[in-house]
Amino acid sequence: MTIVAEGALAAEAGIGRVLVTGAAGFIGFHAAARLLGDGMAVHGIDDLNAYYDPRLKEARLAELRRQEGFSFERLDIADHDALAKSFASFRPDVVIHLAAQAGVRHSVQHPFAYSRANLDGFLSVLEACRAATVRHLLYASSSSVYGSNAKVPFSEADPVEHPVSLYAATKRANEMMAEAYAHLYAIPMSGLRFFSVYGPWGRPDMAYYSFAEAIVAGRPIELYNGGRMSRDFTYVGDVAEAIVRLVPRPPVVRAPNAQNPAARHTIYNVGNHEAVSLGDFVTAIETALGKTADKRFGPMQPGDVPATFADVSRLQAAVGYAPQTPLNEGIARFAEWFRTYHGV
């Protein structure tokens, strides 16, 4: 299925206006750019906080502002009155909620930032969607909800009742809140469990980005759990593609069953359905940058898990697509952007 066909499908479904929270963020930027490329009107919301350098967020916004159909509003999603006014003014057909306080390790030191952004903020979005009667809400969850589950690959039907970080707990809470609102108010919702997203315009707090900065600067990098980690690394362009394909495909009303108990709420894994060792990941970064890393090994960090691995059969069945960019190709694209953006 081509990009043009996806845009045509959304237009045929009467979808022309999409509100994206976290539009200046990593995934939000890429999703908004794809939607604009498909001819959608996109209204971006972001509070441009200083969790990482706001200049990167401003640079992303500058790219989006070059495209026709984009508008932006600086707004804290936890400010419900302001958010409700924004919804009422823009009148979105679909909402893509990607604003959140991210970072597993950061949640250990700054727990209240997570309750405000990820719990109060998400409730504010749900209430705004209810008042605006949007046709489909897509929201960001996380692979972290699987905690230390030993069964792999992770399936949406697996139990996820034992989070190992506050961040994971807030994301699982989002899923339960969405379940309740979908049931009570018949709002179609799709929850997206993202798996270790990487690529150009990424977040500096992510491992691959901080590794690249350290390698270029000649500083050592630290590999936790003695380097015995693996992740399902997912290229951000593939994530944006999955989001855009889901936009005109809200969950249909059907009889609940054990595999999918929610009639109007469906959760999807969005991953590359491949577990890559941390060592191979670092090798890919070294190759792309043309420089060897000085590796140091440390213990497992609080809230971390040793491995992630996505079963994406539900996503593939829904939209005929699954993330597929090879790691070396995706890292090479990141490295090219990294050199240009940082002038190295």
The whole-angstrom separation of Cα 28 and Cα 8 is 21
Q: 254: helix, coil or strand?
A: coil
List of residues 6+ apart from 215 with CB closer than 8 A: 221, 285, 286, 289, 291, 292, 293
The whole-angstrom separation of Cα 1 and Cα 220 is 43
Which DSSP letter does residue 308 get? -
- What backbone phi and psi angles, to 5 degrees, belong to 200? -60, 150
Virtual torsion, Cα 64, 38, 310, 157, nearest 10 deg = 120
Phi-psi region of 157 (alpha: psi -120 to 50; beta: other; left: phi over 0): alpha
Q: 246: helix, coil or strand?
A: helix
Catalytic residue among 51, 114, 146, 167: 167
Q: Is 114 a catalytic residue?
A: no
- Residues 294, 219 contacting (CB under 8 angstroms): yes
- Residues 75, 47 contacting (CB under 8 angstroms): yes
First-last CA distance in the chain: 37
| Token duo for residue 139 | 């929201």
Place of tokens 């989006």: 64
* Of the candidates 140, 171, 163, 127, the residue with the CA atom closest to the CA atom of residue 268: 140
Which DSSP letter does residue 273 get? S
Residues classed as catalytic: 167
